[in-house]
Each structure stands twice: as C-alpha cells, then as structure tokens.
Chain A
C-alpha cells in the first residue's frame, strides 16, 4: 500500500510553473469560497474558510514562496494539506493531475539561489520533459 502512494504527487500550477506535493499529505482539493480575514496573521495567510464545519486556514502559496501574490479566479483551487497536526489549505492557480514520479528522476533543488526561497523546495522532478517543483511541505507550513 504505502509504496504505491509513495511516488505519487498532486500536481498543480502556480504562475506558469508546475509544483507537486506528496499525495499522502493532501486531504482534498476545494474551490475557493468565502474567506474570513484573520487579523495580525502573516501576510501570506489569506484567512480562514469553513470547510464542512471545520475552520481551515488558507495560505497564499505564491506569496509564501515569495513569487507573487496570486490573483484568483474561477480556476483557482485550494489544496487542503496536512503535515503532522497542522492542517492548512494552499491556494494555487489550478490543479491538474496526480503523477507518479520515480525517485531516480528527482534532482536535488538547484544550487543557484537567485533570490527565491530555495528552502521550500525538496527537489525537481522530471517527467516527459516537464519539470515539476517538489515542495518541502513542512517548511511551507512552518511559521
């Protein structure tokens, strides 16, 4: 069972790039609903939503990764993730598919630190000429 899940990643798009997080950490994928702002929270915390009776915080992933705040539209999705006891929704431009990425085709994150937060990356997966950035989820959800 576990090995089947191990290599599978939920792939989503953010600012023309593809990202992946392990499927084991993904609880569900939701559309964006009414968001309640949380005062005094870090600026990448968009607020909280009511997800079937649970209060789930939303993280603007673009802002968290220091890329750009997203502008959200009908395609935008919330990827509800859980790491340890932390549950949070990552807001992304769109979510596309689930892919299997072999361990062998994952390269370590590029060394050149061109200002972006390399610490959030676990590596880069290559699949059919596509590059998929694999996120270090515990780091993303840390603050």
Chain B
C-alpha cells in the first residue's frame, strides 16, 4: 500500500462532513416523521457511502461502525426492526461518534483510538434479537451477505417456485481484467436468472474494488448442474462454489442470529493496518482547510485572468509608443479587471452560512430534551454566503448565544402557558446580506431580559454603582450583559453559564470586525443582531500620517473624524480628554504609544474617534491621507506578539503600512 492517501485527506474530511450533515438532517426529520421509509433510505445511503469512503481511506473503526449502522437501518427498512425512540437515540449516538471521529481525523490526520465497541454492541443488539454466545455456524456463514431485504426477495422467489443460489467465485490470481471477468460472470448469471445482491456491491466490482473473491446471491429456474456447466465455461476462474439456499431454514432460524456481518470486502481492511502504522510515524499530517468551489466561479476567474494577459500584451505594445491617451484607457481597463478578479476570488472563498447553522437543529433538540423544554428552531437564509475565515470564527459565539436562549430565554412549558404563550418556545436564526455585511439574527420568544434585575446584579458585582444605575437607559442596562464578569444565570447549569459570559462572545465578534447588538423585551423575548464583514482579508481603512510614517486604521472601528484645537484638550487626573458629543473621552496620542516624535504643538489637531464596543477613544494623528481599500497581510509568527498592531498592508508604491489594532489600543 504505497498509495499516499494523505493527499485525499482534505477531500475525505470535507466529503464526510457533508454526508454527516445530510445524515443529521435526515435523522432529525426521521424523528418527526418516524414512519417515513424514504428518510430511512436516505440515512442508509449516507451510512453506506461513509462506509465506502472510510474503507478506502483505511479508517477501519469508522467503517465498522457505519457498517453496523447500515445493518440496523436495513433492518428498519425491511420491517425487521421496529423503529422506536431508543433506536433513534442509538443512531444519533453513532452519528455523534462519527462526527467526533471525523473531527479527530481533521485535526490529527489519522483515526482515533476509539473502536466504538460499545456502540457496535448496542447496534448489534437491536440488529436482531440476539444471543451473544451463538457461534459462527454454517448457517451464519450462508447468511453472511444477506439482509432482510434480500431475504424477502428470496422468500418471494421460493413461493414462485424459483431456486435461490449463493455463488462464491474466486478469480484466478493472474486474471488481468478482474472487472471485465466479473462482468462476464454477471452477464452469464443474468441470462440464467436474476442477481439479487452481490458482495462487494456491483458498483465496487465494476470499479475493480475487490480482491479476487466475490459472492453473488441470485435466483434462477435452472438447477445446480446447469448453472455450473455455464459457469465452468468461463475462463480465468480459480474456483466456483455454488450452493442452493434453503430460504425456509433461514427464515426459521433468523431469531438465532446475532450477527449479519458482511465481510466488507478486502481493500479497506487489508490496507488499514499498515496505513495506520505508517501514519503514526510521519509527522501528524494536519488536514488543511479546503473550500468547495462552483466550477462556474472558477471559469469566471479563468476568463478574467486571460483578460489580464491580453492587457499585459497591450501594455507591452504601448510602452514602445508614447500615446498617453491609450495608456490611460488601458489602465482603466486594467483597473476594471483587477476589481473583477478581486470579486471573483472573494466569491471563490465564500461558503454558505449553512455550515454553521447546520449544527443547531441537533443542538436544540438535545438541549431541549435535557432541559425538558419544548423548542422549535426555525432558520432562514442558510444560503447566505460568508468568507470561509468568518465561518470558522462565528460558530462558537452563535452556539453560546443559542445555548443561552435555550437555557435562560425559553421558559418551561408550564411557565409559558401561565404567561399565555404557546407551550412550545420558538428560536429563530436568520441570516441575510446587507451591503458589505452579513447580518445574523438570533431571536427567541422567551422570558426576555429584566433590565432592573440586570442593574441590581451589576451593582452587586461592582460593575456599576447605584448612582450610575439610576442614569442608565433600558438599552444601556441590557448592554451591561456584555461587560466582563457578568452572567445572568441564577445558578450555573450544565448548559450555559460556565463562567464564560457574553463579553467573550462580543470580543470574538469584534475581533473579526463584526458587531453585536442586543434587544429584549421582558416576557416577550430577546434578539441578538450580529453584523459581520463579508470577508476578513480586505477591509476599508483610513490611512493616517504619524510623524513620517503611514498607518492604517480599520474604518469599521472609526466613528468620526474631527478637528479640534489644543484648547479643547483638557486634563482630568493626568489623563487628557476631549469633550465629544457631550461625553468626555480619553485622548490617546498615537505618536507616543508608537514611539514616534510627538512634534510641536499645533493650532489644530486631527482626532480620529475610534470605538471598541461601548468604549470610545480619541486618537490623535498628525495628518489624514485618505480612505482606501486595503488587503490585510499577517505580520507573521515572528512578530505576533507586538502590541497595537493587527497586521500590515502593502501600499500602492510597494511600501508597507502597518494596521493599527484599535481593540488593543483602547
């Protein structure tokens, strides 16, 4: 097994996640519509695909687990297993286990140590009424590759007077075209009867995904020797074993079986062992991030790049003449193309917010069960697209908010009825694009926030004093929740309130240049509005001059730019402040904190009013250069600990300008 599977790891993880997501949705749908066999089929299909994928990658444990899931699901769809809540729970648990397994692979590039024995046992125990000590007898062997569905067909065939056969074929080791050979055998069988199933599945055989051996179950009118004659005529077969299946016996014995394990074909299993070992020796290959891209978008990008090449040739020609008019025209054209390329590349990086939203139905289900509340989650705008980097950052804060809503927001059913609300609480999650931003709203119709209680608590915790509290408006008191060290839960519960407050959520969102607002009405509900930039890589910034250096300040954190005179600057306890819209805000002399010459006193100073959440500060700059769209470049690991800087950007002249981190300055 020299094949380097690592290069497929990214694709595997991405695909697996997508399939798991499908499974998750199907499971939730199944819970609501327990008799819908189509959904069971869907789940089965996903489990089967996952099994195949995991097998190919050599992830044996995942492959085993999905295999057992498949068996149970098969049982359900062939009416051999009654689907009840316990069964769904076990499938859910298996799903969780798979989810974790994939996460582990994504983080470590190899399969975890977990072998899911417990889960597998439980799956088996529902698979069929079990007798754990039953041995691997002959009948069992015969049944190896049979499931309820096959059995039913065989039974029908028996009733119609057809014979059922099990055919084990081992191809000659020197066989050149295994798939073709198998195809000939299949064809021959098709002529004689009907193939019910094969192991490995036909698709795998066609793709040559089998060793030398395969098993076919088929029904035919012909007798044993006729079939053998036909098969013996085919060359390159090492051995043929044909057995008639006695369906009655099997049906009679079905209760005795503990295990319907299909030996899931050579490939995956054989390879997995040494793969695992080799993988532990090489440095944990951590799986890179991938983005799935619509081919149209790539085509568009390709076209733009071709245009870029055309324009380059045109410029070459122009550089020999001195036609400035044409030059100007060409530069304009070039400008248009670069803007378009920028757009196109941005689009390539965009992924639907669905990826984040998808985990919530399950979370709401689990939590509402745990807390014995009835909650309905409604989501809109799942298709809204956001930059991949934003997606990665926004998950945690949203989980936190929704947990809060479920735990503290939505009341118990009794309480809701008492307040004249429907028994079932509602949580809404909406996403939509708004210019260069994406808005995410999380709304619940729970008990809302009691601003008086918040004030009281803030006073208790020493965040504000009683006098200050008097002056606060309703909105202001609600925003106290975002203050570090504030948590509303009366008691710490397992669901939320583990000491991490909304301030962490707010910080996280602000760290990606977003903002969060909170609105709530007592007994009516709470609404969080999160505003996120479409992308993190390119932002609007204000370029300012400090001494003879140029710095960039993200426009998102600037409230206003004002001019002020030296006289407006006052001293309060050694801290210089200015009066801005009736509030005194502290002055920060950028030159000073950046170790630059402060220059002489000037009549008029330019002040950039910047904000970090509720806090504001007046940043003193020497001069303004202008507003510009900048591409953020990381400063790199070597300089990652430098204060006040969040990155760098390259200016038009090729020089570097550093980006100020307003959050750390204020």
> Taking beta carbons and an 8 Å cutoff, which residues of A are in contact with B?
34, 36-41, 45, 48-50, 53-57, 85-88, 141, 143
Contacts and interface: CB of A to CB of B under 8 A. Distances in A.
A54 B656 CA distance: 10
B642 A55 contact: no
B594 A57 contact: no
B492 interface: no
Given A34-B654, A36-B648, 19 more contacts: A36-B549, A36-B655, A39-B593, A39-B642, A39-B644, A40-B594, A48-B635, A48-B639, A48-B648, A54-B633, A55-B635, A56-B636, A57-B636, A57-B638, A86-B636, A87-B637, A87-B638, A88-B638, A143-B638
B289 to A, nearest CB: 16
Interface of B: 549, 593-596, 633-639, 642-645, 648, 650, 654-658
B595 A40 contact: yes
A48 B656 contact: yes
B639 A41 contact: yes
A37 to B, nearest CB: 7
B656 A49 contact: yes
A38 B636 contact: no
28 contacts: A34-B655, A36-B549, A36-B655, A36-B658, A38-B635, A38-B642, A39-B594, A39-B595, A39-B658, A40-B593, A40-B643, A48-B635, A48-B639, A48-B648, A48-B656, A48-B658, A50-B655, A53-B650, A54-B633, A55-B633, A55-B635, A55-B650, A56-B636, A57-B636, A57-B639, A85-B637, A86-B637, A141-B638
Contacts of A38: 635, 639, 642, 645, 658
Contacts of B595: 39-40
B647 to A, nearest CB: 8
Contacts of B656: 34, 36, 48-50, 55
A42 to B, nearest CB: 9
Per DSSP, chain A at the interface is strand
A78 B574 CA distance: 45
A48 B658 CA distance: 9
B651 to A, nearest CB: 9
Contacts of A141: 638
A86 B641 CA distance: 13
Contact of B636 (A34, A40, A50, A55): A55
Given A39-B595, A40-B595, A40-B644, A87 B654 contact: no
Contacts of A36: 549, 648, 655-658
Contact of B642 (A34, A40, A86): A40
Nearest to A36: B656
A27 B34 CA distance: 61
Given A34-B655, A36-B655, A37-B549, A45 B639 contact: yes
Contacts of A88: 636, 638
A87 B640 CA distance: 12
Contacts of A34: 654-656
B542 to A, nearest CB: 18
A88 to B, nearest CB: 5
A39 B643 CA distance: 8
Nearest to B594: A39
B637 to A, nearest CB: 5
Contact of A50 (B642, B643, B654): B654
Contacts of B642: 38-41
Nearest to B656: A36
B75 to A, nearest CB: 50
B119 to A, nearest CB: 38
